[in-house]
Amino acid sequence: MYNTDTIKNYYSSLKSDLPIDFLKFKHFRIVTADGSFMKVKERIKNPTSLWNLLANTAPIDVYYSVGYFMNPTKVGIRGKDHSKFFKMDLVFDIDDKDNLKRAFAETRRIYDYGIEQGWKLKYCAFSGAKGFHLVFNDPFVYDYSQDLEEQAENKRRDLVRAMSEFNFDSPVTIDTRRIIRVPYTLNSKTGMACTLITEPLLKKNNFKQMMQDVYRVNIRLGLFARLRSLFQGNDLQKKFFADYMKKLRFPRNRKRLRSGEHFYSVSVSNRVLGTKMFVPILRYSSYKNALRDLEHLSATYGLGLMHLFYIGGNYFALSLKPIQKERFEKILGNSKCTNFATFKKRGIAYMEIGPRQFSKRIEPLSYIGNWGTDQKTKLSLGHLSLLRKYVMPKHLEKNLLVGKNKVEFSYFSAKLEFF
């Protein structure tokens, strides 16, 4: 739970300029205090209009697009919107969840490499949590008679391969529709501001001095205020807070819960239990990207049949063939999937299998079909058992089944609204 008054006061006090040129061509998104992810429907023409918007809406996170669009308020699914991409920044997102100082050192290494290449730095910023952003002017030259967005993506993909010795989140660099945190805005995980690092300070490589400049705001409510807010949520949450109710012994009338639009669902992990291997699970935001990848990945990496599912606006591609973690990361990095960064950070991938249970309706998992070749290969016993309704192979031999007849589930709720 977040203290929206504190957030409003913070943004009301901001007068800073932004190191982002041509703001009116940038797409903005915010996360509201109830967790809703929303597009900003008006053009942001200058920093003042942005600070005023944030002071009125009190979002917990604020992002902007690395790409530039003629119609930024219409940015949506690539190929299906009318946003008209025309260029993008060259962005590097450097994270290290275990050692921020090490992430800063890697940021300096990439900065030095960029300067050697003749790139012009727009800005460097501490993200407010576990890493840094380096943003350069676009160094590439394009053929304007061809698709600009595809050219931008391909040139960055080639650059990522050339920079394999560096550690950064490559999908952020490649993806033309990627969004990153707006400088000076607050990070909901820590309450710290996304803080600019001057180029002289970056050259000094003085981590301690850099961290002293970071501004922090206590944007979360206290424990009791947070629990009271949760108790005013929807009735399907009651079981999640039973332990807190027992410990704190709130009066009965404070346990009353009200319903809000939400859903519960179940995901399965890609761990092959009983082994150190994983099955490939790739998440896509568009059917077009999934189709582009499936046959290519199956043939290139010998994955056998790739099965495609749909639920809740996401497409999930699954192969039953167990592979090593390093090989799975390579597959993710050479695909158009959207869960590469998540896997690198968490070391696990999930596929939502549903059904999504809303208060008045249920949305089931849909099987679209399979691509590739049905090979005689090893299969994950647990994932085969779970999804045998859809993915039963022609060649099934007991000695080819790998791992335990179990899978790892994650039960979650989302889109919760509190009153």
Q: Residue 160: give its domain's CATH number.
A: 3.90.920.10
pLDDT band at 413 (very low <50, low <70, confident <90, very high): low
pLDDT at 394: 67
CB atoms within 10 A of CB 172: 20
Shared domain for 136 and 275, answered yes or no, is no
Shared domain for 242 and 341, answered yes or no, is no
Quote the number of domains for the chain.
Answer: 3
Closest CA to 107 of 120, 96, 118, 122: 96
pLDDT at 223: 42
Shared domain for 129 and 77, answered yes or no, is yes
- Which range of residues forms the domain containing residue 74? 4-212
Shared domain for 195 and 279, answered yes or no, is no
- Weakest mean pLDDT among 7-16, 44-53, 203-212: 203-212
Q: What is the mean pLDDT of the chain?
A: 84
Shared domain for 241 and 310, answered yes or no, is no
Shared domain for 250 and 268, answered yes or no, is no
Q: What percentage of the chain exceeds 90 in pLDDT? A: 49
Shared domain for 194 and 309, answered yes or no, is no
Read off the pLDDT of each residue in 323-339 and give the average, rounded to a whole number: 92
Q: What H or E segment, with its residue span, contains residue 91? A: strand 90-95
pLDDT band at 249 (very low <50, low <70, confident <90, very high): very low
Q: Which residues of 370-400 are buried (b: 16+ CB within 10 A; e: fewer)?
A: bbbeeeebbbbbbbbebbeebbebeeeeeee
What's the whole-model pTM score?
Answer: 0.55
Q: What is the rounded CA–CA span in Å between residue 362 and residue 416?
A: 16
pLDDT at 412: 67
pLDDT band at 18 (very low <50, low <70, confident <90, very high): very high
Shared domain for 269 and 251, answered yes or no, is no
| Amino acid, single-letter form, for residue 32 | T
Shared domain for 381 and 395, answered yes or no, is yes
Q: Looking at the domain assignment, is residue 217 inside a domain?
A: no
pLDDT tens-digit map of 163-221: 999 999 999 999 999 999 999 999 988 888 999 999 988 888 878 877 877 777 776 65
**For residues 115 and 240, which has the higher predicted lDDT (pLDDT)?**
115
CA gyration radius, the chain: 23
